[in-house]
């Protein structure tokens, strides 16, 4: 089974070809990603209209490059998969429309993939992980703990009630005048800072649910930064270190609860899986390793290129769905919001503009 995957939900324009063999093993034949970081850097964040226009300009060339690198023709494809949401709707429309055109012209099945499902199934692409396992998805648009029970079977155990984790890192970086993207810059500054200088709150600590909240922590950083103005370089490092320490402690607590909820419902998870751009943070990876060890399970983090948005994860999710006979019609809609767990409800008071994430 050969599947072309297309990803355009945010600011990466990506396409890939993945092979799924009859025994469920996978092989990535190509994975081409073009980041738009430079286009958005001067705005300090992703501008939806700019992202959509860039996808229009770039996607045809990215798809052609992925097909050429894979060494196959369109007639050899078993399916075309595209991220149909959740995400910035302009970009989602570009990717899904392109996939529909390819599918129609070459009479190939179409698969409309939930971007979150693609993240959830990525460890099965990299190491053929068996179900069930626990996913911690943390990026600029997502912060969730999800029980991955099977293809199409997901139970959300926890989510953010306000900011996503990557969003909080980016906003802290912006308020401290650090370059965009902010997450790596905060981590870099924190390495030279004192994590005990500021007593920032640990949001949601000790609660019986597994939800996250980062808005209050972000506000605490802003208040301290305002009090210290003008900021010296060491102040910035100490603020970043103290902020990151609070995130680490809160994350460890929330994941410990999430794993306990998982075990109560599904038994011991085969692994704790981390995905999303925040999983590239070395301090967070170390904290996750400690959580997994205490829960007596294995921590799996896919390679960085497969943690962040990419076409290979979309192609693989498409292949997994097609193996079960799950395809879509040309009426498949683009979605700005698309819950992974169809029965999930946003937490009371959910203020995130990306609630559907």
pLDDT band at 24 (very low <50, low <70, confident <90, very high): confident
Question: What is the rounded CA–CA span in Å between residue 355 and residue 215?
Answer: 14
- Reduced 3-state DSSP string for 118-187: HHHHHHHHHHCCCCCEEEEEECCCCEEEEEEEECCEEEEEEEECCCCHHHHHHHHHHHCCCCCCHHHHHH
pLDDT over threshold 70, residue 29: yes
Name the nearest CA neighbour of 164 among 341, 45, 37. Answer: 45
Give the best-scoring range by mean pLDDT among 23-27, 68-72, 272-276.
68-72
Neighbours of 344 (CB within 10 A): 15
Residues belonging to the binding site are 115, 119, 137-141, 170, 183, 187, 281, 309
CA torsion sign, 272 to 129 to 338 to 153?
Answer: negative
In this predicted model, what pLDDT tens digit does every residue of 178-215 receive, in sequence order? 998 899 999 999 999 999 999 999 999 999 999 999 99
Give me the pLDDT at residue 357, please.
Answer: 30
Identical fold, 2-127+306-323 and 133-300: yes
DSSP state, 76? G
Question: In Å, what is the CA distance from 135 to each residue of 106, 269, 298?
Answer: 36, 10, 12
Instruction: Write down the CATH number for the domain with range 2-127+306-323.
Output: 3.30.420.40
DSSP class per residue in 299-343: EE---HHHHSS-HHHHHHHHHHHHHTT--B-TTPPP-S---SSTT
Question: What is the rounded CA–CA span in Å between residue 29 and residue 241?
Answer: 40
- Flag the least confident range among 233-242, 259-268, 315-324, 337-346: 337-346
pLDDT band at 174 (very low <50, low <70, confident <90, very high): very high
Residues belonging to the binding site for Fe cation are 115, 119, 309
Neighbours of 29 (CB within 10 A): 19
Interval 97-106 mean pLDDT: 98
In this predicted model, what pLDDT tens digit does every residue of 242-266 receive, in sequence order? 999 999 999 999 999 999 999 999 9
Give me the pLDDT at residue 342, please.
Answer: 66
Neighbours of 179 (CB within 10 A): 12
DSSP state, 202? -
Return the H-helix or E-strand segment holding 293.
helix 282-294
If one compares 124 and 350, the residue with the highest pLDDT of the two is: 124
pLDDT band at 279 (very low <50, low <70, confident <90, very high): confident
pLDDT over threshold 60, residue 125: yes
pLDDT over threshold 70, residue 284: yes
Name the nearest CA neighbour of 200 among 222, 181, 180. Answer: 222
Compute the 3-state secondary structure of the chain and give helix, strand, coil in percent, each to the nearest 5: 45, 20, 35
Residue 24 region by backbone torsions, left for phi larger than 0, else alpha for psi between -120 and 50, else beta: left
pLDDT over threshold 60, residue 344: no
Name the nearest CA neighbour of 149 among 32, 25, 270. Answer: 270
Percentage above 70 pLDDT, the chain: 96
CB 195 within 8 A of CB 173: no
Mean predicted lDDT score pLDDT of the chain: 93
Residues belonging to the binding site for substrate are 137-141, 170, 183, 187, 281
Q: What angle do CA 116, 58, 86 make, to 5 degrees?
A: 20
Domain residues of the chain, as ranges? 2-127+306-323, 133-300
**CATH match for 133-300 among 3.30.70.270, 3.30.420.40, 3.40.50.300, 3.40.190.10:** 3.30.420.40
pLDDT over threshold 50, residue 129: yes
pLDDT over threshold 60, residue 343: no
Percentage above 90 pLDDT, the chain: 86
- Reading the block at residue 132, the tokens are 């069930």
């Amino acid at each position: 089974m050969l599947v072309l995957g297309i990803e355009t939900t945010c600011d990466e324009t990506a396409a890939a070809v993945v092979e799924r063999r009859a025994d469920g093993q996978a092989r990535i034949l190509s994975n081409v990603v073009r980041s738009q970081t430079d286009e958005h850097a001067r705005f300090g964040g992703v501008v939806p209209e700019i992202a959509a226009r860039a996808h229009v300009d770039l996607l045809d060339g990215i798809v052609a490059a992925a097909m050429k690198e894979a060494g196959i023709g369109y007639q050899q494809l078993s399916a075309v998969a595209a991220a149909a949401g959740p995400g910035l709707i302009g970009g989602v429309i570009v990717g899904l429309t392109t996939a529909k055109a390819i599918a129609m012209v070459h009479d190939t099945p179409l698969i409309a993939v939930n971007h979150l499902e693609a993240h959830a199934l990525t460890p099965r692409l990299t190491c053929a992980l068996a179900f069930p396992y626990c996913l911690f998805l943390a990026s600029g648009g997502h912060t969730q703990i999800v029980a991955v029970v099977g293809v199409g079977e997901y139970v959300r155990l926890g989510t953010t009630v306000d900011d996503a984790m990557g969003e909080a890192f980016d906003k802290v970086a912006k308020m401290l005048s650090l370059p965009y993207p902010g997450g790596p810059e905060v981590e870099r500054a924190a390495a030279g800072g004192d994590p005990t200088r500021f007593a920032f709150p640990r949001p949601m600590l000790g609660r019986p649910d597994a939800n996250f909240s980062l808005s209050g922590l972000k506000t605490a950083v802003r208040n301290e930064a305002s009090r210290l103005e003008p900021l010296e370089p060491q102040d910035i490092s100490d603020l970043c270190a103290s902020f990151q320490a609070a995130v680490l402690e809160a994350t460890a607590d929330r994941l410990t609860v999430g794993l306990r909820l998982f075990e109560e419902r599904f038994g011991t998870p085969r692994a704790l899986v981390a995905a999303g751009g925040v999983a590239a943070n070395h301090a967070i990876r170390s904290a996750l390793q400690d959580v997994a060890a205490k829960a007596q399970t294995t921590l799996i983090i896919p390679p960085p290129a497969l943690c962040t948005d990419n076409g290979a994860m979309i192609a693989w999710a498409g292949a997994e769905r097609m193996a079960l006979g799950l395809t879509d019609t040309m009426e498949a809609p683009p979605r700005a919001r698309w819950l992974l767990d169809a029965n999930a409800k946003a937490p009371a008071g959910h203020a995130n503009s990306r609630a559907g994430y």
